Structure 1
Amino acid sequence: MNTPARLLAGLALGAVAVGVLPATANAGTADRDVVTTDKGAVRGSSANGLRSFQGVPYAAAPVGDLRFRSPQPATAWEGVRDATTPGGACAQPGGLPVGVPTTNEDCLYLNVTAPARADDLPVIVWIHPADMMFGSGDIYGTGRLAKDAVVVTPNYRLGALGFLTDPSLDSGSVNGSGSLGVEDQQAALRWVQRNIEAFGGDANNVTIMGESGGGYGVCDQLASPKAAGLFDRAIIESAPCGAGGGSRTREAAIDDGEAVVKAALASETCEGLDTATCLRTVDAKTLVDAYGAWGSPRPVSGTPLLPLPVEEALRTGKFNRVPVLIGVNHDEANGMIGGMELAPEATPIPPEGYRAAVEQYFPGEDPDRIMAKYPLSAYGNSAGLALSTALTDRDWALATHDTATGLSKWTRTYMFELARQETPWFNGYPVKPSFPVWSQHMAELPYIFDMRVTPGVDFFEPLTAAQARLGERMITTWTRFAETGDPGWDRVRSGDANVRSIKPGRWCETEFVGDHELAFWRSL
């Protein structure tokens, strides 16, 4: 997830253990806080017309011999399990404020938020973002999104623990090694099928939804035959999965994990052990540290889980054909380039450095053509803003447009763009880039979620009254799509994306192709 957040100070969220309470229930309205799942009863909490159940196990803890193996069924329990605090986040490095630095592996838990009187409501399963490297489901407060839907936010294995690929680990899954994080997501979706009716949700009306890395997770589930029947609609935010970012080859994945395997085998713990035993025995910190903080792991294609690369599956129609709502932010790259200015001792790109920056970010392209299309004079002489606009247009707008039009050949597809405006900035971080970030990557999240990495501390600045109204309308639209498969505007048709501009006031069709210079980028 390319945002200025990568360059801000990391925040930590402590993992809270979950206990089991005696099998007694309070009389009266408190009974609504006790729900029986297929593994046992859980007690949540109620407030403000919502019921919340946190830290519910959907699979066994992937520790010990279960490390690097497909998710296994959770163990049943007696009595009523406390479900008022989230389960621990999955092992991940530091370096991102929407991350939870930890070596914890007992992490396959999910959270459910439901209206107090929920009955057969649409279900939204949020696959959390952050490159499949960072984060946890509970960071994304779902109180507003759950007004008219049951919302589920699972954790799934990340980074090395979720995507390490090595021949020695292939026996851990019928899919071979390298895709356990996506297998976890499917295990959570199967839990939803078995249990969500007890929470007031409709198991026959499930929408999977994700942004950035989580959006690529949605793309993976669309392309996976093993996810067939587990969901009915899909919402993809800032993840142009038809452009090659949803999966990787086995060879690339093995190369990506070589340093991890080497570091494990070099540890004292692994002296005399074979590779598979070593990788399942060495401490998680060794694996997390060796994998690093800035990877972008993806599942392996050419397996029963993903027979085809994601982009090929979508292009050829060999995917789970459900209605899709896909969107992009108008200024995706502004946060990435602007955030670099906020690093210690960094400075904005000077005008005389524009050519060098273009050559760096567009290798092999004609810098003169790009600079002529995006002249400094059109961007207030800001090299950072000109470069960000070009990157947004090529890497995000073009790729998302191609993904949407490709999907539209096979299934009902709708596209949106969060339009340029003043969006909430990061809470408690007074410094801003030298140019506006506008609708940067992640900018839509505070309109939908109440994000908190540290308890009691909001991740974004509070919404203004106008922003809050826009958020309410977005949530109503997203929920309408989850319920009906139609967000309320015309679908994408081949060659005519019909992109709806999400902004205060009237939501009109935007001149997306011209605004983002798609003809120019297709000509290169």
Structure 2
Amino acid sequence: MSAPPLNPKAGLRAALLLLLCAVALVSITAAPAAGAGPGSPDSRRGDRTVVRTEQGLVRGLSHGSYTTFDGIPYAAPPTGPLRWRAPVPATAWQGVRDATRPAERCVQMPAPGASGVTGSEDCLYLDVTVPTAEPAAGKRPVMVWMHGGAFLGGSGSDYNAGRLSVQGDAVVVTVNYRLGIFGYFGHPGLGAAPPFGLADQQAALRWVRANAVRFGGDPRSVTLFGESAGALGICAHLTSPTAAGLFQRAVLQSGSCLTSFPRGALAPGTPAYEPFAPEAEVQMVGTRAARQLGCTEGGNEEVLACLRGRSTDRLATAQLMQSFNRPAFGNGLLPEAPARALASGRFHRLPVMLGTNHDEMRMFVGLSLAAFPIRTEGDYRARLTEAFGAAAPAVEARYRAADHPSPALAWAAVLTDRSFTCTTLAAGRTIAEHAPGLSLHGYEFDDPHAPVLAGLPANPDFPYGAAHGFEMPFLFTPFPTERPLDEAQRTLSDRMVAYWTAFARTGNPNSTDAPPWPALRMSSPHAPSVQSLAPEPGGIHPVDAYATHQCSFWDRLSR
């Protein structure tokens, strides 16, 4: 969500607490893999748990069918004088570095009621997962995962990539990057600095390019994939001139260059949300933050020196962290807003797979109901009026509360269609218009009984369905949910892993033993070309998401 003012009103404070809960839910640490097996004696005698990177040797941990190399630095610690500077390469080391456990996560948005800061500023590390078996053919494709969490929370080590790696015969890399005020701060003294968190992601991709072959991966076959804020970051890299050549394919899950929320989407009183902000706006918020932190004496250099001298605890407050979770454009990394760049055709031509979940906004609405209930049609109408103003009656006529099990579920359907599904399809249409021969595939995850992510409040009157983030347990296992996948869901999981890794290998998710997945044909927006991913028999098939989610209505309304 967008950053509130430094002195938010009560509605914004409550919305912030809801956002904190959402960040925590999508960044819960997955359970560690079981069954770690013994490694071989030494790399010089065939020990595959030891690999020489550009900076030095690392020793990983064998888990039988795969090996993990955790906590590898891809950049120097962004601390002290390197706080709010572009990442610089990690220094070399002597001997064999232990890579058997993840590094600390980057400083996170503090959870409600937390007594201290979570994470460390020394956090620019990545984890590599490699199958133990010999590759099926030549070098393996490399998949680089960017976690979600609203640019405020999460960690690469939250995602166990063993299944993706082994079943897909791929090298999988998961990445930490700076968050909140540490990753997206701006100030006139910094000039047109890049969004540091996105610069971190590009530094990780440069590390992958330099080191992939050492882990058996192909540096010319790198797929960047991510969910939510991770997908928004990938949208940025698709339009970033400094990302040219760093990856060859992209998968965007529940986030696109056109994602946006109307007023009041998270809670009454919250402003409209665009995921990227002009550099001048971020600098203005940074100037206010500097005053709040008591750094006002002297010129810009003195102010920045004062800010760099402030402790992590002083900076990592919920208020300050959330004030900086929108990457800035108007700099070398992002010369313009990604939506504008996409519309102008200024993006990298490479295969793209993008999609959403059928009930995206039920997760956010479900979190908000205790504080902001939507019990009656009057409650629903008030939310529509705040969000859409004079267009509210037209939206209500299209999404009548009586046509849904409850007014709250009607509101979630409105936001899912308007903010996720239709903006993602519009992004796909824009890509297709400018690059008609590009490999482009769309999907909709649609398991109405997907396991609920651990920690979400139970509400028998508000089923979550296929909500935001609920596809994660189908790609990364184990994953913290309130129950495990059932047999049909495990079959769907197998198919999704196969689709994702086939795309990573060839730029096309199709294979000979899978239900065919048509290209996202946008010459006719009503073409049923989005692949539905559901567990029931026949649940994997093309669907017309454009019609199902009322996208012609939202297209007209946005003009």
Correspondence for 2:428 among 392, 404, 410: 404
Residue 49 of structure 2: aligned partner: 33
Amino acid of the residue matched to residue 549 of structure 2? H
Specify every segment of 5 or more residues in structure 1 that has no aligned partner in the other structure, as ranges. Answer: 14-23, 171-175, 453-457
Secondary structure of the structure 1 residue equivalent to 2:346: coil
Matched residues in 2 for 1:366 and 1:429: separation?
32
> After the TM superposition, which residues 162-311 of structure 1 pair with which residues of structure 2 at under 5 Å, given as runs?
162-170=183-191, 176-243=192-259, 245=274, 247-265=276-294, 274-289=302-317, 291-292=319-320, 294=322, 297-311=325-339
| 1: CA distance, partners of 2:42 / 2:20 | 46
Contact persistence 2:24–2:153 (CA under 8 A)? no
Give 1:242 shift: 3.1
Whole-Å separation in 2 of the counterparts to 1:40 and 1:432: 51
**Counterpart position of 2:399:** 374
Please show how residues 146-157 of structure 1 align to structure 2 within 5 Å.
146-147=165-166, 148-157=169-178
Map Cα deviations across residues 207-266 of structure 1 (whole Å, 9 max, x no partner): 000111000111111111111111000000011213564532112212333443223225
- Give CA-to-partner distance per residue, 1:91-150, whole Å, 9 cap, x none: 1222389xx952511100000001013541110000111111111100011111112211
- Taking the aligned partners of 2:60 and 2:174, their CA distance within structure 1 comes to 15
Q: Is 2:529 aligned against 1:519? A: no
> Does the 8 A contact of 1:242 with 1:315 survive in 2?
no
1:352-396 deviations in Å (ceiling 9; x for gaps): 322112213x2324322222211122113x110111111111111
SS in structure 2 of the partner of residue 408 of structure 1: helix
**How many equivalent pairs are there?**
498
Partner of 1:16: none
- Kept in 2, the 8 Å contact 1:339–1:433? The answer is no
Letter in 2 for 1:51: T
Give distance in 1, aligned partners of 2:476 and 2:296.
Answer: 42
Taking every aligned residue pair, what percent have the same amino acid on both sides? 37
**Aligned amino acid, residue 337 of structure 2:** P
Provide the rounded CA distance (Å) in 2 between the counterparts of 1:58 and 1:117: 26
Q: Does 1:76 align with 2:92?
A: yes
Kindly indicate whether the alpha-carbon contact (under 8 Å) linking 1:314 and 1:407 is maintained by their aligned counterparts in 2: yes
Change (3 A) 1:154 1:428: closer
* Residue among 52, 55, 58 paired with 1:42: 58
Question: In structure 1, how many angstroms separate the alpha carbons of the residues matched to 2:61 and 2:430?
Answer: 44
Distance (whole Å) between structure 2 residues aligned to residue 326 and residue 517 of structure 1: 19
How far has the Cα of 1:273 moved from its partner?
8.3
Compute the displacement of 1:60 (Å): 0.5
**Where do residues 118-157 of structure 1 align in structure 2 (5 Å cutoff)?**
118-119=134-135, 120-147=139-166, 148-157=169-178
Mark the CA change 1:139 to 1:295 in structure 2 (over 3 Å): closer, same or farther. Answer: farther
Shift of 1:426: 2.5
SS at match of 1:254: helix
Q: Please state whether the residue corresponding to 2:72 is helix, strand or coil.
A: strand
The Cα of 1:200 is off from its aligned counterpart by: 1.1
Q: Secondary structure at the match of 2:293?
A: helix
Q: Flag the 1:517–1:339 CA change in 2: closer, same or farther, 3 A.
A: same
The 3 A distance-change label for structure 1 pair 34 and 350 is same
CA distance in 2, matches of 1:338, 1:433: 11
Q: In 2 relative to 1, CA 60–403 (structure 1 residues): closer, same or farther, beyond 3 Å?
A: same
TM-score by length of 2: 0.83
How many angstroms apart in 1 are the aligned matches of 2:99 and 2:143? Answer: 19
Please name the residue that 2:411 is paired with.
387
> Cα deviations across residues 140-186 of structure 1 (Å, max 9, x unaligned)?
1111111221100111111111110101123xxxxx32511111101
1:477 aligns with one of 474, 499, 506 = 499
The answer to whether the Cα contact below 8 Å between 2:235 and 2:257 also exists between their aligned partners in 1 is: yes
1:486 aligns with 2:508: yes
- CA apart distance, 1:443: 1.1
Contact 1:10 1:96 in 2 (8 A): no
Please tell me whether the aligned partners of residues 43 and 50 of structure 2 are also in contact (alpha carbons under 8 angstroms).
Answer: no
Distance 1:322 1:296 in 2: 30
Is the partner of 1:204 in helix, strand or coil? strand
Change (3 A) 1:61 1:399: same
Partner SS, residue 151 of structure 1: strand
Q: Distance in 2 between matches of 1:242 and 1:403?
A: 6
The answer to whether residue 79 in structure 2 is matched with residue 67 in structure 1 is no
The runs of at least 4 consecutive aligned structure 1 residues that moved more than 6 Å come to 1-5, 27-30, 270-273
Specify the SS of the correspondent of 2:48: helix
User: Residues 321 and 101 (structure 1 numbering): CA distance in 2 closer, same or farther, change over 3 Å?
Assistant: farther
Label 1:9 to 1:128 Cα distance change in 2 as closer, same or farther (>3 A).
Answer: closer
**CA gap 1:192/1:339 in 2 versus in 1, 3 angstroms:** same
Cα distance, 1:429 vs. partner? 5.5
Task: Give the whole-Å Cα distance in 2 for the aligned partners of 1:481 and 1:365.
Answer: 44
Distance 1:259 1:475 in 2: 46
CA distance in 2, matches of 1:301, 1:338: 32
Partner SS state of residue 156, structure 1: coil
| Aligned residue identity for 1:247 | F
In structure 2, what is the equivalent of residue 508 of structure 1?
Answer: 541
Which residue among 150, 160, 167 is the counterpart of 2:181?
A: 160
Aligned partner of residue 106 in structure 1, secondary structure: coil
- The residue aligned with 2:269 is none
Q: Which TM-score applies when normalising by structure 1? A: 0.88
Q: Which whole-Å CA distance do the structure 2 matches of 1:239 and 1:167 have between them?
A: 30
Question: Equivalents in 2 of 1:393, 1:243: separation in Å?
Answer: 11
Could you tell me whether the CA contact under 8 Å between 1:35 and 1:199 is conserved in 2?
A: yes
What is the root-mean-square deviation in Å for CA atoms of aligned residues? 2.9
Return closer, same or farther for 1:295/1:499 CA change in 2, 3 Å cut-off.
Answer: farther
Say if 2:106 and 2:178, in contact at 8 Å, map to a contact too: yes
